[in-house]
Amino acid sequence: MNPDTGTATDNALWAKDGLFAPLRSACADDWERYVNHDFVRRLGAGTLPEAAFRHYLAQDYLFLIHFARAYGLAVFKSATLAEMRYAAGGLKAILDLEMGLHVKYCAGWGMSEADMAALPEANATIAYTRYVLERGLAGDLLDLEVALAPCVLGYAEIAERLVRDPKTKYAGNPYRDWIEMYAGPEYRAVARAAAEALDDLWLTRAGRARFDALAETFRQASRLEADFWQMGLDAVHS
């Protein structure tokens, strides 16, 4: 734990015998390229160009809109009331809380909601969000949740890594608030709930025969997440 953050990182976010851990292990190279991307390392060091971060933030606003659509699809794909309530809770959290917090955070970087809403979607935004929706439409709720997992659980792992990394800079780092937001107890609770929901679906809707297909979905989603980081860096050099 870094004494400057007050964020504990000793509690596991997911069960070692659940689905996420073997997915992460099966796709280790692509996962590592995502969670240890140069964008993330430079964010932790405070050396990420502000233009790259602004571009990422604006596209993340557009991403959240499609993320909400994915949770709406999850409600439709649910087979039980418990599954429906979990998906509906995710949808409500994005629309009623997360979007507002994101807009407020972006305002601190001089970006208005109207400006972000008027932006065209970057290719990386289109690629990942449509992939998630396609997996949900073509498959079942488990396919959809696996496609979403790199985003929900990846951000928690990224923030935890940054908090643990002695190279992470806090004093004077303009991205400190971002790190602490995703390393904080509120987001960790969101990530833990997502991992538990994934485990429940694995137990009720799958068998070992499905793992390879699910791992391929997880791998592709991780690659697309890495491309999302790269989009921010590329915006500086375009």
Rounded Cα distance, 24 and 15, in Å: 12
What range does the domain containing 219 cover? 50-237
Q: What is the pTM for the complete model shown? A: 0.90
Active site residue 32: no
Q: What is the pLDDT of residue 12?
A: 63
Active-site residue identified among 145, 151, 160, 180: 151
Active site residue 27: no
Secondary structure of 130-183 as H, E, C letters: HHHHHHHHHCCHHHHHHHHHHHHHHHHHHHHHHHHCCCCCCCCCCCHHHHHHHH
- Tally of domains within the chain: 1
pLDDT(98) > 60: yes
Q: Could you tell me the CATH number of the domain that includes residue 151?
A: 1.20.910.10
Is 32 inside any structural domain?
Answer: no
For a pLDDT cut of 70, what percent of the chain falls above it?
A: 93
Is 206 inside any structural domain?
Answer: yes
Active-site residue identified among 145, 160, 180, 225: 225
Q: What is the mean pLDDT of the chain?
A: 91
- Confidence tier at 238 by pLDDT (50, 70, 90): low
How confident is the model over 145-174, as pLDDT tens digits? 999 999 999 999 999 999 999 999 999 999
Rounded Cα distance, 67 and 221, in Å: 13
How confident is the model over 28-65, as pLDDT tens digits? 999 999 999 999 999 999 999 999 999 999 999 999 99
